[in-house]
Amino acid sequence: MNNRLKPFSRIISILCALGLLAVLFVPLWRIELSAPQYPEGLSLIIKPQGLAGDVEVVNGLNHYIGMRTLHTEDFVEFQILPWAIGILAAFGLLSALINRRWFFITWVVFLIAFGIIAMIDFYRWEYNYGHNLDETAPIKVPGMAYQPPLIGYKKLLNFGAYSIPDIGGWIFIAVGLLLVIALYLELRRAVKITRGFEIKAAAIGLLFILSFSGCGTGPQPIRFGEDGCDFCKMTISDQRFGAELITQKGKVYKFDDMHCVNAFLKAKTVSEEDIAQVYLLDFSQPGTLVPATESVFLKSERLRSPMGANIAAFRHPDSMKKFMNQFPGQSLDWSEVRQ
């Protein structure tokens, strides 16, 4: 009897097995592309059985930069994936039926290993397609690769590429988390874990969750002379006036002037609730991004910013005061700047 599963673990096994079966009927992952010429965006959807979405349009774009076209039949993974998911789901149901801890542990280990291998294979697939380019392509940028991000946001020429789990991917993540919790409870019952170890394990798990949830919401370095403003499309070159807007999902929009930031915000391209943070370049420390809500601002016609807003941001009021003799003007806060 000591090797039998707790009722909680058996219920979790059944729920997770059913969740894996549901994954077979919904998209697993999606890569979204946005660019000025495609304001509505393009989507590449990855299902267990193949590719969907704007595949042909993406293939047409890939031709210009030398990337191979995408076809479901070119990937052996789409032949294996439905079977692998189905087998894992069957193992989950058997785990509840057999009702033995060793079988349950084996299933969880196999599922976690499958998830790790799948992500490694996905990265390898992205790397190969993004780096192995046709040398006769119409558009060639020396040293440029077009590998999409594994997860999160990345700028590729004038396209923004955003990679995120779709419905099936989130189900898979939820299944993994539930099984890890059940596994921990089973191991704690099987082996007497000291209270100190429990506290350390909980702390490590909390740090992991916090670090994962915060991933992709911080500022990205602006590549001056390379990155373009997402509003006026001009190249960002002045290290004193640039800005970034980060969405809740980690997507990054870059700007060369406060005028462009305000115009972008007023256009409601990103809703207020979807904005995680706005960062601005500190005028006193060129190239350094600071949160807009923690900054003070100086408006002066003598600043001569790229698009004429003539507003400079400073992390500290004392820093701003040092420049007010050189650039006499008006002190503002973030709410006044946005008006």
pLDDT digits (tens, 9 = 90+) for 283-319: 998 888 899 989 999 999 999 998 899 999 999 899 8
8 A C-beta contact, residue 7 and residue 156: no
CB 85 within 8 A of CB 48: yes
For the cut 50, the answer to whether the pLDDT of residue 45 exceeds it is yes
> What's the whole-number mean pLDDT along residues 33-62?
86
| Phi, psi dihedrals of residue 152, rounded to the nearest 5° | 110, -155
Domains and CATH numbers, the chain: 7-213 (1.20.140), 243-337 (no CATH)
Percent of the chain with pLDDT over 70: 91
* pLDDT, position 203: 57
Q: How confident is the model at residue 200 (pLDDT cuts 50, 70, 90)?
A: low
Question: Are the C-beta atoms of 278 and 291 separated by less than 8 Å?
Answer: yes
Interatomic CA distance for residues 34 and 236, integer angstroms: 19
Calculate the alpha carbon distances from 268 to 250, 264, 273, 308, 337 in Å: 17, 7, 11, 21, 17
pLDDT category at 17 given cuts 50, 70, 90 is: very high
| Predicted confidence band of residue 214 (pLDDT cuts 50, 70, 90) | very low
The CB density around residue 34, as the number of other CB atoms within 10 Å, is 20
pLDDT for position 198? 52
pLDDT at 199: 53
Region 35-48 average pLDDT:
85
Half-sphere exposure in the Cβ direction for 309 (13 Å, CA): 24
Q: Is the pLDDT of residue 39 over 80?
A: no
Task: Check whether 19 has a pLDDT greater than 50.
Answer: yes
- The pLDDT, as a whole number, for residue 41 is 83
- pLDDT tens, position by position, 239-264: 999 999 988 877 889 999 999 999 99
What are 54-111's pLDDT values in tens digits?
A: 889 888 888 888 888 889 888 888 999 999 999 999 999 999 999 998 999 999 999 9
Average pLDDT value over all residues in the chain: 85
Per-residue model confidence (pLDDT) at position 126? 86
Residue type for position 240: R
Neighbours of 117 (CB within 10 A): 11
In sequence order, what are the residues at sequence separation of 6 or more whose Cβ sits closer than 8 angstroms to the Cβ of residue 97?
none
CB 14 within 8 A of CB 92: yes
| CB 165, CB 118: distance < 8 Å | no
Q: How far apart are CA 235 and CA 315, in angstroms?
A: 24
